[in-house]
């Protein structure tokens, strides 16, 4: 009986280790929001910044092509907020190399800040924080939604 319990525990530990490895892999690829959805988990607001902070140039371009609110309207969904930020990011990053620079200097810190926010986070707030992270505060545009 003890051997059976030990074997089951090892099997469980292996499964949990694989699940964690898959989650970390998705996070590092900038695909954490999609991973969480596939798992049936709630998607943390920072997961919507994850593609911007860790994704490829092509992934950010694809995100930028998704629907955004009409000019003058606030972002009402996390997806709209992420698409608006992707468009703003691409306006500053015409090349994959520049994207990499902005990811490490501005977007990873933004992602960490959003992780640390205690409540009060909304799509509109995410866009505000993203605009402040991407642009000098005195030149931060409204992104047509703030």
pLDDT in tens, 108-146: 999 999 988 877 799 999 999 999 999 965 454 455 543
Q: Has residue 130 been placed in a domain?
A: yes
59-90 in b/e form (b: 16+ CB < 10 A) is bbeebbeeebbeeeebbeebbbbbbbbbbbbb
What does the alpha-carbon distance between residue 4 and residue 9 come to, in Å, rounded to a whole number?
9
What does the alpha-carbon distance between residue 27 and residue 31 come to, in Å, rounded to a whole number?
6
The count of structural domains within the chain is: 1
Q: Has residue 111 been placed in a domain?
A: yes
Q: Has residue 121 been placed in a domain?
A: yes
Q: Has residue 25 been placed in a domain?
A: no
Q: Has this prediction a pTM greater than 0.85?
A: no
Helices marked H in 30-122 = 32-39, 47-54, 57-64, 78-92, 96-102, 108-116
pLDDT digits (tens, 9 = 90+) for 65-86: 998 888 888 889 999 999 999 9
């Amino acid at each position: 009986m003890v051997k059976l319990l030990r074997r089951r525990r090892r099997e469980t530990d292996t499964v949990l280790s694989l699940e964690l490895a898959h989650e970390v892999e998705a996070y590092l690829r900038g695909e954490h929001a999609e991973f969480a959805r596939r798992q049936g988990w709630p998607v943390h607001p920072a997961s919507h910044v994850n593609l911007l902070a860790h994704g490829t140039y092509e992934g950010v371009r694809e995100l930028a092509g998704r629907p955004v609110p009409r000019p003058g309207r606030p972002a009402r969904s996390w997806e709209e907020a992420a698409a608006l930020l992707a468009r703003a990011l691409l306006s500053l990053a015409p090349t994959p190399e520049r994207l990499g620079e902005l990811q490490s200097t501005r977007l990873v810190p933004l992602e960490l800040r959003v992780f640390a926010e205690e409540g009060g986070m909304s799509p509109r707030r995410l866009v505000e924080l993203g605009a402040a992270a991407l642009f000098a505060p005195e030149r931060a545009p409204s992104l047509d939604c703030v």
